Amino acid sequence: MTTAAPARLEALRRAADRARLAPSIHNTQPWRFAIGPDGLELYSDAERRLHVIDPLGRQLLLSCGCALLNARASLAADGYDAQVERFPDESRPDLLARITLGSEYGDRPPLSALDAAIPQRHTNRRQFADEPVPTQLIQTLIDAATAEQAVLLAVTSPEHRAVVAELVREANRIEEADPAYRMELATWTTDDLRRRDGVPASAVPYGHRPGDSDLPIRDFDPRGMGWLPGDPESDRNQCLLLLASTGNDRASWLRAGEGLERVLLAATRAAYAVSPFSQIVEVAQTNRRLCQDLELDVYPQLLLRLGRAPAASAVPRRPLEEMLTETT
């Protein structure tokens, strides 16, 4: 067994630390990392899966894909040629990816430019400005998704926007009528300042009720503990982007997560905010109608709202030592 050189070992630790800053469904942070002499391994943490809204683990893998992209961007910024093997061991389904370091780059690759945006990227549930998003930026984000073998579609026609708004409202009604959903949501929403996971009160609008909006975001404030200003008033006329994949299996979900994070970091670099609408995909019947009414030949994974908004604060994160093991 060889031992990783100090500089390479430090780069792997930094990559794991960057990876833990990735977005995840309800800030569950469903990942673990291991550093060995051959590189960095990414594992899923099944104990952190949401069993009601994510029974197949799709959103868990999207979240882990975001973490993987962060690790890759960090290593690129440190000048390393990172080789990624996804699902390297069929007998270990929780082992999602293994990253090994090749030679150092002479010139840093384009992915390295996203590293600085990692600590600046935050999910934003504030009200967005009523102004158009530049077409050039939308194309940049589409290209970012394509670079990761994902698909990003702009929802532009009035008919499609109306369908999306209707389906988001319907998905909200269906989920909120389920006591198990409300219990799971309450479990992962917190006003405990000591807690290092879950959606904190500081990140949600006070007293927000999804029925008040044309395009409702998820209600994370059932107990009236939100710190942000009230209803964010999202609507169908804002910039709407649909993240999708060409396949609908575990490998496709992981790659879609990498595409998602590349999109989010590119938006952050351009000083734009992003807010997700996952309900429309979580609920089977709205998911089916979305595919039918928009005549999609891809699999929807997440709806995004893009625009200008006041800065969002960072959500709590578990310390790296809770999720990292080293065997070097």
CATH number, residue 257: 3.40.109.10
pLDDT tens per residue across span 22-80: 999 999 999 999 999 879 999 999 999 999 999 999 999 999 999 999 999 999 999 99
Write the single-letter amino acid at 33.
Answer: F
Does residue 37 sit within a domain? yes
- Residue 213 clears pLDDT 80, i.e. is over it: no
Averaged pLDDT score across all residues of the chain: 90
Residues 69 and 170 in one domain: no
Domain boundary among 92, 118, 144: 118
Residues 203 and 89 in one domain: no
Does residue 202 sit within a domain? yes
Does residue 153 sit within a domain? yes
> What is the bridge-based pairing of β-strands 324-326 and 31-36?
parallel
pLDDT-derived band at 293, boundaries 50, 70, 90 = very high
Residues 185 and 257 in one domain: yes
pLDDT-derived band at 232, boundaries 50, 70, 90 = low
Residues 82 and 152 in one domain: no
Residues 110 and 160 in one domain: no
- Surface-to-core class of residue 191, CB atoms within 10 Å of its CB (0-12 exposed, 13-18 middle, 19+ buried): middle
pTM for the whole structure: 0.93
pLDDT-derived band at 210, boundaries 50, 70, 90 = low
Does residue 323 sit within a domain? no
Residues 79 and 168 in one domain: no
Q: Which residues, including other chains, have CB under 8 Å from residue 305's CB and lie 6 or more apart?
A: 128, 215, 217, 234, 238, 239, 240, 241, 274, 275, 276, 277
Both tokens of 45, joined, read 């943490």
Residues 99 and 145 in one domain: no
Give percent above pLDDT 70 in the chain. Answer: 88
Per-residue pLDDT at 322: 96
Lowest mean pLDDT among 150-154, 205-209, 231-235, 288-292: 205-209
Per-residue pLDDT at 15: 98
Of 263, 268, 264, 273, the C-alpha closest to 309 is 273
Structural domain total, the chain: 2
Does residue 33 sit within a domain? yes
The residue segments making up the domain with residue 272 are 135-307
- Residue 194 clears pLDDT 60, i.e. is over it: yes
Residues 271 and 139 in one domain: yes
